[in-house]
Amino acid sequence: MNILKQAKAVGIAATLAVLAGCAGQVNEQAAPAEPTKPATSEQKASASKLESAADKAAREARQAAFESAEQLRKNAMAADTLFFFGFDRSDLGQDALDDLDAHAKYLAANRAAKVRLEGHADERGTRAYNLALGERRANSVTRYLVIQGVNRSQIETVSYGEERPLSLSRDDNGWSRNRRVELIYQ
């Protein structure tokens, strides 16, 4: 009897430990860029230490709030507005994310700002299909921006398919420049 109860308690404790561990892991995975995250061991430790982490988060939030709108705007304007894709692909590359984040922060902070995303394709393949492909590319960017806090109504998408190539050279180089989404502030 006694043993059974004890086992139960141990079981509960173990489950909780796993849960706590999970929370820590999610946290870590979610923000790999930020170095000072509470580790699993810290969570097992005293509450006071955790409180200091909370203070830190609050401080960061305040800092973010203090970041001037002007700085956000500057970052956004400095960021790339052309995003390129593979043949018949509409998935964003990792290298596009930093630039998109800059745009997203600015747009999220300025609800009045509006942006137009123009999707394009290279000339290979059929025109109507390429129109759909350009649309999907623009939608890929839209989804990312929305998740970063931009309001859907701030974004307008349009696809030009293969009708407006940037480059007229008919080789891999030219084609890769034409498979793009152009981000244009309105």
Interface positions, 7-36, toward other proteins (CB under 8 A): 8-9, 12-13, 16-17, 19-20, 23-24, 26-27, 29-31, 33-34
- The only residue of 39, 124, 151, 173 in contact with other proteins, by rule CB under 8 A: 124
- The only residue of 6, 71, 151, 173 in contact with other proteins, by rule CB under 8 A: 6
- The yes or no reply on residue 140 touching other proteins (CB under 8 A) is yes
- The only residue of 1, 65, 78, 112 in contact with other proteins, by rule CB under 8 A: 1
- The only residue of 83, 84, 144, 175 in contact with other proteins, by rule CB under 8 A: 144
Show the 3-state SS of the chain.
Answer: CHHHHHHHHHHHHHHHHHHHHHHHHHHHHHCCCCCCCCCHHHHHCCHHHHHHHHHHHHHHHHHHHHCCHHHHHHHHHHCCCEEECCCCCCCCCHHHHHHHHHHHHHHHHCCCCCEEEEEECCCCCCHHHHHHHHHHHHHHHHHHHHHCCCCHHHEEEEEEECCCCCCCCCCHHHHHHHCEEEEEEC
CB of 105 to other proteins, least distance (A): 9
- The only residue of 39, 95, 166, 173 in contact with other proteins, by rule CB under 8 A: 166
Q: What is the dihedral of CA 99, 85, 128, 156, to 10 degrees?
A: -10
- The only residue of 106, 163, 171, 181 in contact with other proteins, by rule CB under 8 A: 163
Q: Which parts of 33-62 interact with other proteins (CB under 8 A)?
A: 33-34, 37-38, 43, 47, 50, 53-54, 57, 60-61
Count of residues engaged in binding other proteins, rule: CB under 8 A: 72
CB contact set of 132 (below 8 Å; sequence gap of 6+)? 159, 161
Mark 82-111 with x for binding to other proteins (rule: CB under 8 A) and - for no binding: ------xxxxx-x--x------x-------
